[in-house]
Structure 1
Protein backbone atom coordinates (compact mmCIF):
# COMPACT_ATOMS: atom_id res chain seq x y z
CA UNK A 1 0.00 0.00 0.00
CA UNK A 2 1.09 3.57 -0.62
CA UNK A 3 2.31 5.52 2.39
CA UNK A 4 -0.08 8.08 3.84
CA UNK A 5 2.68 10.63 3.31
CA UNK A 6 2.90 10.00 -0.42
CA UNK A 7 1.65 13.04 -2.29
CA UNK A 8 -0.96 12.40 -4.98
CA UNK A 9 -1.52 15.13 -7.55
CA UNK A 10 -3.65 15.12 -10.67
CA UNK A 11 -2.66 17.53 -13.42
CA UNK A 12 -5.42 18.17 -15.96
CA UNK A 13 -6.90 20.62 -18.44
CA UNK A 14 -10.56 20.94 -19.41
CA UNK A 15 -9.56 21.00 -23.07
CA UNK A 16 -8.60 17.33 -22.76
CA UNK A 17 -11.38 14.73 -23.22
CA UNK A 18 -8.97 12.15 -21.81
CA UNK A 19 -8.88 14.22 -18.62
CA UNK A 20 -12.68 14.01 -18.54
CA UNK A 21 -12.54 10.24 -18.92
CA UNK A 22 -9.96 9.79 -16.18
CA UNK A 23 -11.91 12.09 -13.89
CA UNK A 24 -14.72 9.53 -13.92
CA UNK A 25 -12.26 7.02 -12.44
CA UNK A 26 -10.57 9.38 -10.00
CA UNK A 27 -13.70 10.91 -8.53
CA UNK A 28 -14.72 7.73 -6.63
CA UNK A 29 -11.19 7.52 -5.19
CA UNK A 30 -11.41 10.87 -3.43
CA UNK A 31 -13.11 9.33 -0.40
CA UNK A 32 -10.15 7.02 0.17
CA UNK A 33 -7.23 9.10 -1.07
CA UNK A 34 -6.27 12.73 -0.72
CA UNK A 35 -5.61 13.85 -4.29
CA UNK A 36 -4.60 17.42 -5.04
CA UNK A 37 -6.46 18.60 -8.14
CA UNK A 38 -4.17 20.81 -10.23
CA UNK A 39 -5.63 22.53 -13.31
CA UNK A 40 -2.87 23.47 -15.77
CA UNK A 41 -2.60 25.12 -19.17
CA UNK A 42 -1.91 22.21 -21.52
CA UNK A 43 -0.92 24.58 -24.34
CA UNK A 44 1.84 26.08 -22.21
CA UNK A 45 3.13 22.60 -21.34
CA UNK A 46 3.21 21.64 -25.03
CA UNK A 47 5.02 24.86 -25.89
CA UNK A 48 7.62 24.27 -23.16
CA UNK A 49 8.39 20.86 -24.67
CA UNK A 50 8.23 22.05 -28.28
CA UNK A 51 5.33 19.72 -29.07
CA UNK A 52 1.97 19.82 -30.80
CA UNK A 53 -1.19 18.47 -29.26
CA UNK A 54 -3.02 15.59 -30.96
CA UNK A 55 -5.81 17.96 -32.03
CA UNK A 56 -3.26 20.07 -33.95
CA UNK A 57 -2.19 17.23 -36.26
CA UNK A 58 -4.49 16.41 -39.21
CA UNK A 59 -5.48 12.77 -39.25
CA UNK A 60 -4.44 12.28 -35.63
CA UNK A 61 -7.09 14.83 -34.64
CA UNK A 62 -9.95 12.89 -36.23
CA UNK A 63 -8.67 9.56 -34.93
CA UNK A 64 -8.30 10.92 -31.40
CA UNK A 65 -11.86 12.22 -31.34
CA UNK A 66 -13.26 8.89 -32.50
CA UNK A 67 -11.04 6.99 -30.07
CA UNK A 68 -12.24 9.17 -27.17
CA UNK A 69 -15.87 8.59 -28.09
CA UNK A 70 -15.26 4.85 -28.40
CA UNK A 71 -13.60 4.73 -24.98
CA UNK A 72 -16.46 6.68 -23.42
CA UNK A 73 -19.06 4.36 -24.88
CA UNK A 74 -17.07 1.30 -23.83
CA UNK A 75 -16.88 2.60 -20.26
CA UNK A 76 -20.50 3.71 -20.13
CA UNK A 77 -19.54 7.38 -19.82
CA UNK A 78 -21.80 9.97 -21.39
CA UNK A 79 -19.74 12.22 -23.64
CA UNK A 80 -20.68 14.95 -26.07
CA UNK A 81 -18.03 17.13 -27.69
CA UNK A 82 -18.35 20.91 -27.27
CA UNK A 83 -19.22 23.06 -30.31
CA UNK A 84 -15.57 23.41 -31.37
CA UNK A 85 -12.31 21.71 -30.46
CA UNK A 86 -9.61 22.57 -29.71
CA UNK A 87 -10.87 25.63 -27.88
CA UNK A 88 -9.29 28.18 -25.55
CA UNK A 89 -9.67 26.62 -22.07
CA UNK A 90 -8.29 29.51 -20.02
CA UNK A 91 -11.68 30.77 -18.82
CA UNK A 92 -12.65 27.28 -17.64
CA UNK A 93 -9.30 26.75 -15.94
CA UNK A 94 -9.48 30.14 -14.22
CA UNK A 95 -13.04 29.42 -13.09
CA UNK A 96 -11.79 26.21 -11.49
CA UNK A 97 -9.02 28.10 -9.69
CA UNK A 98 -11.41 30.85 -8.56
CA UNK A 99 -13.75 28.16 -7.21
CA UNK A 100 -10.92 26.68 -5.13
CA UNK A 101 -10.13 23.65 -7.33
CA UNK A 102 -12.75 21.70 -5.39
CA UNK A 103 -14.05 18.35 -6.63
CA UNK A 104 -17.46 19.99 -7.01
CA UNK A 105 -16.06 22.67 -9.29
CA UNK A 106 -14.04 20.19 -11.34
CA UNK A 107 -17.11 17.98 -11.74
CA UNK A 108 -19.35 20.88 -12.73
CA UNK A 109 -16.96 22.22 -15.37
CA UNK A 110 -16.28 18.81 -16.90
CA UNK A 111 -20.03 18.13 -16.92
CA UNK A 112 -20.71 21.43 -18.67
CA UNK A 113 -18.15 20.95 -21.42
CA UNK A 114 -17.95 17.19 -21.96
CA UNK A 115 -21.26 15.73 -20.81
CA UNK A 116 -23.55 18.55 -21.88
CA UNK A 117 -21.41 19.62 -24.83
CA UNK A 118 -21.47 23.32 -23.96
CA UNK A 119 -18.85 25.89 -24.90
CA UNK A 120 -16.21 26.60 -22.26
CA UNK A 121 -14.04 29.07 -24.14
CA UNK A 122 -15.07 32.36 -22.52
CA UNK A 123 -16.44 33.89 -19.35
CA UNK A 124 -19.64 34.67 -21.25
CA UNK A 125 -20.09 31.04 -22.32
CA UNK A 126 -19.48 29.89 -18.75
CA UNK A 127 -21.71 32.50 -17.09
CA UNK A 128 -24.46 30.02 -16.09
CA UNK A 129 -21.80 27.82 -14.50
CA UNK A 130 -20.18 30.77 -12.73
CA UNK A 131 -23.56 31.53 -11.16
CA UNK A 132 -24.12 27.86 -10.28
CA UNK A 133 -20.76 27.68 -8.50
CA UNK A 134 -21.43 31.03 -6.80
CA UNK A 135 -18.12 32.45 -7.95
CA UNK A 136 -17.57 36.18 -8.33
CA UNK A 137 -17.24 36.75 -12.06
CA UNK A 138 -14.49 39.31 -11.52
CA UNK A 139 -12.44 36.71 -9.62
CA UNK A 140 -12.27 34.53 -12.73
CA UNK A 141 -10.29 37.18 -14.58
CA UNK A 142 -8.36 38.56 -11.63
CA UNK A 143 -4.59 38.75 -11.62
CA UNK A 144 -4.50 36.53 -8.53
CA UNK A 145 -6.39 33.79 -10.38
CA UNK A 146 -4.21 34.12 -13.47
CA UNK A 147 -1.05 33.96 -11.34
CA UNK A 148 -2.29 30.86 -9.53
CA UNK A 149 -2.93 29.08 -12.84
CA UNK A 150 0.54 30.05 -14.08
CA UNK A 151 2.03 28.74 -10.84
CA UNK A 152 0.17 25.44 -11.29
CA UNK A 153 1.52 25.08 -14.80
CA UNK A 154 5.06 25.94 -13.75
CA UNK A 155 4.92 23.44 -10.90
CA UNK A 156 3.74 20.78 -13.35
CA UNK A 157 6.69 21.48 -15.63
CA UNK A 158 9.09 21.34 -12.70
CA UNK A 159 7.60 17.95 -11.77
CA UNK A 160 8.32 16.69 -15.28
CA UNK A 161 4.75 16.72 -16.61
CA UNK A 162 4.62 16.63 -20.41
CA UNK A 163 0.95 15.94 -21.04
CA UNK A 164 -2.51 15.74 -19.52
CA UNK A 165 -3.99 14.08 -17.69
CA UNK A 166 -1.08 13.09 -15.45
CA UNK A 167 -1.41 11.48 -12.04
CA UNK A 168 1.68 11.85 -9.90
CA UNK A 169 2.32 9.44 -7.06
CA UNK A 170 5.21 10.95 -5.18
CA UNK A 171 7.80 11.56 -7.89
CA UNK A 172 6.35 8.99 -10.28
CA UNK A 173 4.27 10.27 -13.19
CA UNK A 174 1.50 8.33 -14.92
CA UNK A 175 0.38 10.01 -18.12
CA UNK A 176 -2.95 9.45 -19.77
CA UNK A 177 -6.31 7.92 -19.08
CA UNK A 178 -5.03 4.62 -20.48
CA UNK A 179 -2.30 4.54 -17.79
CA UNK A 180 -4.86 4.63 -14.98
CA UNK A 181 -4.61 0.91 -14.21
CA UNK A 182 -0.81 1.17 -14.21
CA UNK A 183 -1.07 4.02 -11.69
CA UNK A 184 -3.44 2.08 -9.46
CA UNK A 185 -1.13 -0.92 -9.48
CA UNK A 186 1.84 1.28 -8.57
CA UNK A 187 -0.24 2.89 -5.84
CA UNK A 188 -0.93 -0.49 -4.27
CA UNK A 189 2.41 -2.13 -5.09
CA UNK A 190 5.13 0.55 -5.40
CA UNK A 191 7.83 -2.13 -5.27
CA UNK A 192 6.93 -3.12 -8.83
CA UNK A 193 8.54 0.07 -10.06
CA UNK A 194 11.81 -0.94 -8.40
CA UNK A 195 12.52 -4.24 -10.12
CA UNK A 196 15.65 -4.53 -12.24
CA UNK A 197 14.00 -4.17 -15.64
CA UNK A 198 11.96 -1.12 -14.59
CA UNK A 199 15.15 0.46 -13.28
CA UNK A 200 17.10 -0.44 -16.44
CA UNK A 201 14.57 1.41 -18.57
CA UNK A 202 15.43 4.65 -16.81
CA UNK A 203 18.95 4.45 -18.26
CA UNK A 204 18.15 2.85 -21.63
CA UNK A 205 20.48 4.38 -24.28
CA UNK A 206 19.05 6.28 -27.26
CA UNK A 207 19.88 4.30 -30.39
CA UNK A 208 19.13 6.98 -32.99
CA UNK A 209 17.85 10.53 -33.02
CA UNK A 210 15.74 12.05 -35.79
CA UNK A 211 17.21 15.18 -37.30
CA UNK A 212 15.06 18.27 -37.33
Structure 2
Protein backbone atom coordinates (compact mmCIF):
# COMPACT_ATOMS: atom_id res chain seq x y z
CA UNK A 1 0.00 0.00 0.00
CA UNK A 2 1.43 3.41 -0.92
CA UNK A 3 2.52 5.59 1.96
CA UNK A 4 2.31 9.37 1.92
CA UNK A 5 5.01 11.64 3.27
CA UNK A 6 3.05 12.51 6.42
CA UNK A 7 2.64 8.97 7.78
CA UNK A 8 4.63 5.97 8.95
CA UNK A 9 3.29 2.42 8.86
CA UNK A 10 3.57 0.35 12.04
CA UNK A 11 3.35 -3.40 11.35
CA UNK A 12 2.71 -5.46 14.48
CA UNK A 13 1.42 -8.68 15.97
CA UNK A 14 0.10 -8.67 19.54
CA UNK A 15 2.24 -11.72 20.35
CA UNK A 16 5.38 -9.56 20.17
CA UNK A 17 6.52 -7.89 23.41
CA UNK A 18 8.82 -5.68 21.33
CA UNK A 19 5.79 -4.48 19.37
CA UNK A 20 4.08 -3.60 22.65
CA UNK A 21 7.15 -1.64 23.77
CA UNK A 22 7.39 0.23 20.47
CA UNK A 23 3.67 1.03 20.49
CA UNK A 24 3.89 2.32 24.07
CA UNK A 25 6.90 4.48 23.16
CA UNK A 26 5.14 5.90 20.10
CA UNK A 27 2.16 6.89 22.24
CA UNK A 28 4.36 8.76 24.72
CA UNK A 29 6.42 10.98 22.46
CA UNK A 30 5.57 12.57 19.10
CA UNK A 31 7.24 10.67 16.29
CA UNK A 32 7.06 13.34 13.62
CA UNK A 33 4.73 11.38 11.38
CA UNK A 34 1.20 10.14 11.81
CA UNK A 35 1.36 6.44 12.74
CA UNK A 36 -0.73 4.09 10.62
CA UNK A 37 -0.98 0.81 12.55
CA UNK A 38 -1.41 -2.41 10.55
CA UNK A 39 -1.90 -5.78 12.28
CA UNK A 40 -0.18 -8.75 10.62
CA UNK A 41 0.34 -12.43 11.37
CA UNK A 42 3.92 -12.83 12.59
CA UNK A 43 3.89 -16.61 12.11
CA UNK A 44 3.01 -16.25 8.43
CA UNK A 45 5.83 -13.74 7.94
CA UNK A 46 8.32 -16.09 9.62
CA UNK A 47 7.11 -18.99 7.48
CA UNK A 48 7.47 -16.96 4.29
CA UNK A 49 11.10 -16.08 5.01
CA UNK A 50 11.97 -19.49 6.49
CA UNK A 51 12.71 -18.12 9.96
CA UNK A 52 12.03 -19.06 13.57
CA UNK A 53 10.66 -16.61 16.11
CA UNK A 54 12.95 -15.59 19.00
CA UNK A 55 10.87 -17.61 21.47
CA UNK A 56 11.19 -20.71 19.26
CA UNK A 57 14.94 -20.90 19.77
CA UNK A 58 15.46 -22.47 23.18
CA UNK A 59 18.75 -20.78 23.99
CA UNK A 60 17.38 -17.40 22.87
CA UNK A 61 14.03 -17.50 24.67
CA UNK A 62 15.07 -16.53 28.19
CA UNK A 63 17.44 -13.85 26.88
CA UNK A 64 14.59 -12.35 24.85
CA UNK A 65 12.24 -12.27 27.83
CA UNK A 66 14.84 -10.79 30.14
CA UNK A 67 15.71 -8.13 27.59
CA UNK A 68 12.06 -7.13 27.22
CA UNK A 69 11.60 -6.93 31.00
CA UNK A 70 14.79 -4.84 31.26
CA UNK A 71 13.87 -2.55 28.38
CA UNK A 72 10.43 -1.91 29.88
CA UNK A 73 11.95 -1.03 33.26
CA UNK A 74 14.51 1.25 31.60
CA UNK A 75 11.80 3.04 29.63
CA UNK A 76 9.38 3.08 32.59
CA UNK A 77 6.75 1.15 30.61
CA UNK A 78 4.43 -1.10 32.65
CA UNK A 79 5.30 -4.68 31.78
CA UNK A 80 4.36 -8.20 32.84
CA UNK A 81 4.56 -11.29 30.64
CA UNK A 82 1.31 -13.24 30.17
CA UNK A 83 0.97 -16.74 31.71
CA UNK A 84 2.42 -18.41 28.60
CA UNK A 85 4.38 -17.18 25.60
CA UNK A 86 4.17 -17.50 22.65
CA UNK A 87 0.38 -17.67 22.61
CA UNK A 88 -2.34 -17.67 19.97
CA UNK A 89 -2.78 -14.03 19.01
CA UNK A 90 -5.05 -14.48 16.00
CA UNK A 91 -8.35 -13.61 17.69
CA UNK A 92 -6.93 -10.46 19.27
CA UNK A 93 -5.57 -9.38 15.88
CA UNK A 94 -8.94 -10.05 14.27
CA UNK A 95 -10.65 -7.93 16.94
CA UNK A 96 -8.29 -5.04 16.22
CA UNK A 97 -8.82 -5.40 12.48
CA UNK A 98 -12.59 -5.55 12.98
CA UNK A 99 -12.35 -2.23 14.85
CA UNK A 100 -10.49 -0.63 11.93
CA UNK A 101 -7.14 -0.68 13.75
CA UNK A 102 -8.32 1.97 16.20
CA UNK A 103 -5.61 3.20 18.56
CA UNK A 104 -7.84 2.53 21.57
CA UNK A 105 -8.31 -1.09 20.48
CA UNK A 106 -4.57 -1.66 19.98
CA UNK A 107 -3.67 -0.05 23.30
CA UNK A 108 -6.37 -1.94 25.21
CA UNK A 109 -5.30 -5.30 23.78
CA UNK A 110 -1.58 -4.66 24.24
CA UNK A 111 -2.06 -3.42 27.81
CA UNK A 112 -4.09 -6.48 28.73
CA UNK A 113 -1.36 -8.78 27.44
CA UNK A 114 1.88 -7.07 28.43
CA UNK A 115 1.01 -4.43 31.03
CA UNK A 116 -1.35 -6.59 33.10
CA UNK A 117 -0.14 -10.01 31.93
CA UNK A 118 -3.43 -11.63 30.90
CA UNK A 119 -4.00 -14.64 28.66
CA UNK A 120 -5.57 -13.03 25.60
CA UNK A 121 -6.00 -16.47 24.04
CA UNK A 122 -8.71 -17.07 26.65
CA UNK A 123 -12.21 -16.32 25.29
CA UNK A 124 -13.17 -14.82 28.65
CA UNK A 125 -10.26 -12.38 28.63
CA UNK A 126 -10.97 -11.40 25.04
CA UNK A 127 -14.62 -10.89 25.91
CA UNK A 128 -13.64 -8.57 28.77
CA UNK A 129 -11.42 -6.61 26.39
CA UNK A 130 -14.30 -6.40 23.94
CA UNK A 131 -16.64 -5.00 26.59
CA UNK A 132 -14.08 -2.30 27.45
CA UNK A 133 -14.14 -1.37 23.77
CA UNK A 134 -17.91 -1.39 23.55
CA UNK A 135 -18.11 -4.75 21.78
CA UNK A 136 -20.68 -7.03 23.46
CA UNK A 137 -19.99 -10.05 21.22
CA UNK A 138 -16.42 -10.31 19.94
CA UNK A 139 -16.87 -13.48 17.81
CA UNK A 140 -19.93 -11.97 16.10
CA UNK A 141 -18.09 -8.75 15.30
CA UNK A 142 -15.10 -10.65 13.91
CA UNK A 143 -17.32 -12.86 11.75
CA UNK A 144 -19.30 -9.90 10.42
CA UNK A 145 -16.20 -7.88 9.58
CA UNK A 146 -14.30 -10.57 7.61
CA UNK A 147 -11.26 -9.64 9.69
CA UNK A 148 -9.47 -12.88 8.77
CA UNK A 149 -9.29 -11.86 5.13
CA UNK A 150 -8.11 -8.40 6.15
CA UNK A 151 -5.25 -9.90 8.16
CA UNK A 152 -4.21 -12.10 5.23
CA UNK A 153 -4.18 -9.06 2.94
CA UNK A 154 -2.21 -7.03 5.48
CA UNK A 155 0.35 -9.79 5.92
CA UNK A 156 0.78 -10.33 2.19
CA UNK A 157 1.22 -6.60 1.61
CA UNK A 158 3.79 -6.40 4.42
CA UNK A 159 5.80 -9.27 2.95
CA UNK A 160 5.67 -7.60 -0.46
CA UNK A 161 7.26 -4.51 1.12
CA UNK A 162 10.06 -6.65 2.54
CA UNK A 163 8.83 -6.84 6.13
CA UNK A 164 10.50 -9.83 7.80
CA UNK A 165 9.66 -9.30 11.46
CA UNK A 166 7.62 -7.31 13.96
CA UNK A 167 7.49 -4.61 14.97
CA UNK A 168 8.49 -2.83 11.78
CA UNK A 169 8.08 0.86 11.05
CA UNK A 170 8.08 1.84 7.39
CA UNK A 171 8.99 5.46 6.71
CA UNK A 172 9.39 6.63 3.10
CA UNK A 173 9.73 2.95 2.12
CA UNK A 174 12.65 2.53 4.54
CA UNK A 175 12.19 -0.35 7.02
CA UNK A 176 13.04 0.04 10.71
CA UNK A 177 12.74 -3.32 12.45
CA UNK A 178 12.51 -3.82 16.18
CA UNK A 179 11.99 -1.61 19.21
CA UNK A 180 15.69 -0.77 19.28
CA UNK A 181 15.45 0.72 15.76
CA UNK A 182 13.13 3.50 16.94
CA UNK A 183 16.00 5.95 17.65
CA UNK A 184 17.34 5.31 14.13
CA UNK A 185 13.89 5.98 12.66
CA UNK A 186 13.64 9.24 14.61
CA UNK A 187 17.09 10.30 13.37
CA UNK A 188 16.09 9.44 9.80
CA UNK A 189 13.18 11.87 10.09
CA UNK A 190 15.58 14.56 11.30
CA UNK A 191 18.20 13.69 8.68
CA UNK A 192 16.58 12.20 5.55
CA UNK A 193 20.04 11.71 4.08
CA UNK A 194 21.00 9.28 6.85
CA UNK A 195 21.49 6.41 4.41
CA UNK A 196 23.19 8.48 1.69
CA UNK A 197 26.76 8.34 3.01
CA UNK A 198 29.30 6.32 1.02
CA UNK A 199 29.46 3.59 3.67
CA UNK A 200 25.68 3.34 3.95
CA UNK A 201 25.33 3.08 0.16
CA UNK A 202 28.04 0.42 0.08
CA UNK A 203 25.86 -1.83 2.26
CA UNK A 204 23.15 -2.05 -0.43
CA UNK A 205 25.26 -4.21 -2.73
CA UNK A 206 27.62 -5.80 -0.22
CA UNK A 207 28.47 -9.26 -1.63
CA UNK A 208 27.50 -12.45 0.21
CA UNK A 209 30.70 -14.26 1.16
CA UNK A 210 29.14 -17.59 2.10
CA UNK A 211 25.55 -18.75 2.51
CA UNK A 212 23.94 -21.67 4.29
CA UNK A 213 21.48 -23.94 2.54
CA UNK A 214 17.94 -23.35 3.71
CA UNK A 215 14.44 -24.29 2.53
CA UNK A 216 12.79 -21.97 0.02
CA UNK A 217 10.33 -19.35 1.38
CA UNK A 218 6.77 -20.56 1.87
CA UNK A 219 4.20 -19.28 -0.58
CA UNK A 220 1.31 -17.14 0.63
CA UNK A 221 -2.01 -18.84 0.03
Partner of 1:191: 193
For residues 88-125 of structure 1, what are the alpha-carbon distances to aligned partners after superposition, in whole Å with 9 as ceiling and x for unaligned? 10011011111111111111111111001011114433
For residues 41-74 of structure 1, what are the alpha-carbon distances to aligned partners after superposition, in whole Å with 9 as ceiling and x for unaligned? 0000000001100101111011111111111111
Does the aligned pair in 2 maintain the 1:19–1:177 contact within 8 Å?
yes
Q: Go from structure 1 to structure 2 and tell me whether the alpha carbon gap of 1:103 and 1:29 turns closer, same or farther (over 3 Å shift).
A: farther
Distance 1:171 1:191 in 2: 14
CA RMSD of aligned residues (A): 1.8
Partner of 1:154: 156
Distance 1:141 1:112 in 2: 22
SS of the residue corresponding to residue 204 of structure 1 reads coil
Does the aligned pair in 2 maintain the 1:39–1:93 contact within 8 Å?
yes
Please, what TM-score do these two structures have when normalized by structure 2? 0.89
Does the aligned pair in 2 maintain the 1:92–1:122 contact within 8 Å?
no
Distance 2:48 2:120 in 1: 24
Pairwise CA distance, 1:6 = 4.8
Distance 2:47 2:83 in 1: 25
For residues 3-46 of structure 1, what are the alpha-carbon distances to aligned partners after superposition, in whole Å with 9 as ceiling and x for unaligned? x7254100011100001111121113568531110011000000
The runs of at least 4 consecutive aligned structure 1 residues that moved more than 3 Å come to: 28-32
Aligned residues between the structures = 210
SS of the residue corresponding to residue 160 of structure 1 reads coil
Partner of 1:42: 42
Q: Does 1:208 align with 2:210?
A: yes
1:22-171 pair list within 5 angstroms: 22-29=22-29, 33-135=33-135, 136-137=137-138, 138-142=140-144, 144-171=146-173
Q: Go from structure 1 to structure 2 and tell me whether the alpha carbon gap of 1:142 and 1:51 turns closer, same or farther (over 3 Å shift).
A: farther
Partner of 1:176: 178
Please, what TM-score do these two structures have when normalized by structure 1? 0.93
Does the aligned pair in 2 maintain the 1:174–1:183 contact within 8 Å?
yes
Q: Which runs of 5+ in 2 are unaligned?
A: 215-221
